[in-house]
Amino acid sequence: MDPESIRQQLEWLRARREVTEELGVPALQRLVGVAQKGSGQSRTVRQFLLGLYNGPQWPMDLTALRGLDPDLQQDVVRVLLMDMAGPRLEVHEHIAQGEQVFRALWEREVRARGE
């Protein structure tokens, strides 16, 4: 690959990351709000977010995402695209006090599992 092709590819990747973050961060904020509630959808969203946060500790059945409302499904896809676009930050670093927020989600899910 010649230097110009590499430069163009890097520019394309940078632009893609910017767009996915533009859409993904607000989607993440909405999903965190849902995950902090007590509905069945909240638990599915919480499991999805924890899977991005620490996949080995929080594997999830992806078919559960089918049970989400369409707007939540779109937010899940936006956050996943943001994460797949070569994130500058870990998922929890995109929100204020993200480490504490995700730790609270972790603890809530542990209690929900009865562990």
What's the mean pLDDT in 32-43?
95
Model confidence band, residue 87 (pLDDT cutoffs 50, 70, 90) = low
If you search the block for the tokens 């204020």, which residue do you land on? 96
Q: Are 77 and 31 in contact, with CB atoms under 8 Å apart?
A: no
User: 0.75 exceeded by the pTM?
Assistant: yes
Angle between helices 3-35 and 70-84 (to 10 degrees): 140
- Span 83-96, average pLDDT: 89
Could you tell me which residue, 13 or 100, shows the higher pLDDT? 100
Give the count of domains, the chain. Answer: 1
C-beta separation of 5 from 12 below 8 A: no
- pLDDT over 90 for what percent of the chain? 72
d(CA 66, CA 14) in angstroms, rounded, equals 31
Domain encompassing residue 30? 3-113
Q: Residue 13 has what pLDDT?
A: 82
